[in-house]
Structure 1
């Protein structure tokens, strides 16, 4: 066999071997890519995203799109060839697998956590939007969760409204932890509660909690990490709204749509069209006070927004430097730190005064 032919054959076989190895070798990475966007003012799968009953609503001509990131599945392991392809792609990001799927959580736990964060973001968005519009929103501290095999198991239940701890009235969840951890391990703590069923009925109806309460005594134990006194519950907040609001959006998890849900609700509940017909997309967590927080995958979300047709992208200020490092053509990034910032920006967009919008700046 001629030397040139032998060399070519050897090189070809080596290349085939390397390609096979690249396909077979699994690497500890996951890929993030632009996901679908959904107009919170419109419909998704034939159903309105925002369902409001018991209050007048108004139609809108523009877009307030929430954005998502598509990630490789929890049970999927990328091969080396896919990882290299993702690294070379302008649209995707290859990140350590553990940064998306922590080792200490199962696939079911990751899914449950994402669902809980999504539900919490909806609740915060409702509160922030309605309070911005001047509606009264009721709140009550409740037992959000009871740890398995803890002293509280079987004594307190998720959904119980906590009225007092050792006779001291409770105004917010943090006060529960302060009062319990202020005891010595082994002490008894008396919880004054309204049972979950009655509390939930009152909260859903927008009524005050019933006067009839129960006293539940729970013995504290020492926390394994720092020996502080605990009973094994997590306190949370349940809100009552002046009318019914349902957010319908399946197959989405995490808290990053909170800002856009809040803006969508404000738009639907006010006669003025917030966008003035413009196509605005965005992202960001939101708390009940209207503070906008950072999210993951902002670069993929800006690409998704641009591809959907967005002109403006509301960007959490803590994500601005990353987002501004590579802005998709035709998209204007607008820096927001609060719900009021977003509303001010929309007012400028609506009026056509876009030259002075607060811009994201690259590092």
Structure 2
């Protein structure tokens, strides 16, 4: 081979090596893709064998013919440039800066702990919201009074706060929100139950800092659970808050004799608070794909997530818009009756 031929060949090999090396370099991005789905009405494998995810006492437990799937997002970390390009070109994945998923000011252990705490809280709020629908209201009970505060001399430990200025108090969070609607120094009427008797008293919340009104009470939420509802997620490797809505629906369906699913495979997502308000979550574009891949025909979508979900919805999947647990239940009722629920 002539010298020029060797030069071209060696140059081509050198370029190929450089290209391969550059494509193998890990980038500061992660990929988000469709993750596994879990039927909250189904079972999970645990160290003690297969167990139901949501259970109730035998006297109250019912069965349904469909599914209520929670959906997840799988995170692909330590992505090479070549794979990042593949994910970026795919309609099923999103490529985002790693900093958005793994903030540099937190350790991996701290992030994992936060995900676990959110996961646990989502189940607690789901149970609270579901039991309220099932006829078990929340009692907001005073456990301690801050000396010198607005509540000092007005409320006592053991009082159950039922209203502020005539508006019902439905949770500790709701009470804080109602107190915050007026600036510090505004007189408020507090309705409470003491020793089984309803009473009313005036209190003027002070400044709790940064201009927020401070009543001066420590609270505990109490709620009856006559159905002995329990959520068992020991066999699930999932974190974050986004399964709240589907857990709440699963609890109601486990206890309510009516089959909420109507035989349909229904998926959904959304954070939920104690009052049943459904909040937006991340990764909804990938979650709708996961739902469709696992046979769902309906996807319950937090209202704020509708624009992102609509941009990636697969054929055959109906996006139902929900803002509260009550709206989700109304939407499922409409589907069972053959009517069209509110759509994204």
Q: TM-score, normalised by structure 2?
A: 0.75
Work out the CA distance in 2 between the residues paired with 1:324 and 1:236.
41
Q: Secondary structure at the match of 1:53?
A: coil
1:53 to 38, 57, 61: 57
The structural deviation recorded for 1:298 is: 0.3
Q: CA deviation at 1:327?
A: 1.0
Q: Distance in 2 between matches of 1:132 and 1:140?
A: 20
Matched, 1:359 2:343: yes
Tell me if 1:165 matches 2:146: yes
Cα-to-partner distance string for 1:28-73 (whole Å, 9 max, x where unaligned): 111211111011111122211102237511101001100011113x
How many angstroms does 1:242 deviate by?
Answer: 2.1
CA distance in 1, matches of 2:263, 2:57: 25
Aligned residues: 291
Structure 1 residues 102 and 29, CA gap change in structure 2 (3 angstroms): same
* Structure 2 residue 21 is matched with structure 1 residue 20: yes
Counterpart residue number, 2:232: 248
CA 1:272–1:339: 2 relative to 1, 3 Å: same
Deviations 1:231-284 (CA, angstroms, capped at 9, x unpaired): xxxx77554432333212231111101111111111111111011101110000
Counterpart-to-counterpart distance in 2, 1:8 and 1:330? 52
Q: Find out whether 1:257 has 2:222 as its counterpart.
A: no
Root-mean-square deviation (CA, aligned residues, Å) is 3.2
Task: Give the conservation status (yes or no) of the 8 Å contact 1:137–1:242.
Answer: no
2:311: which partner in 1? 325
1:118 equivalenced with 2:119 (yes/no) = yes
Partners of 1:18 and 1:302 lie apart in 2 by 35
CA distance in 2, matches of 1:346, 1:314: 9
Contact 2:288 2:312 in 1 (8 A): no
Question: Structure 1 residue 326: deviation in Å?
Answer: 1.9
Change in CA separation of 1:260 and 1:6 when aligned onto 2, cut-off 3 Å: same
- Preserved contact between residue 292 and residue 337 of structure 1 (Cα < 8 Å): yes
Question: Is 2:288 the counterpart of 1:302?
Answer: yes
Deviations along 1:196-249, one digit per CA (max 9) or x if unpaired, are xxxxxxxxxxxx99xxxxxxxxxxxx99xx8x9x9xxxx775544323332122
The corresponding residue for 2:128 is: 127
How do 1:152-191 and structure 2 match up within 5 A?
162-166=143-147, 167=152, 169=155, 172=172
Change (3 A) 1:4 1:346: farther
Cα distance in 2 for partners of 1:71, 1:27 equals: 14
Offset of residue 77 of structure 1: 2.8
Kindly state the Cα deviation for residue 5 of structure 1 after the two structures are TM-superposed.
6.2
Gaps of 5+ in 2: 162-171, 185-193, 196-207
Conserved? CA contact 1:136–1:242, under 8 Å: no
CA distance in 1, matches of 2:14, 2:59: 71
Q: 1:278·1:349 contact (CA, 8 Å) conserved in 2? A: no
- Gaps of at least 5 residues in structure 1 are 142-161, 183-207, 210-221
Question: What TM-score results when the alignment is normalised by the length of structure 1?
Answer: 0.72
Residue 107 of structure 2 corresponds to which residue in structure 1?
A: 106
Partner of 1:92: 93
Q: Is the 8 A contact 1:138 1:241 kept in 2?
A: no
2:279 to 283, 293, 296: 293
Q: Secondary structure at the match of 1:357?
A: coil
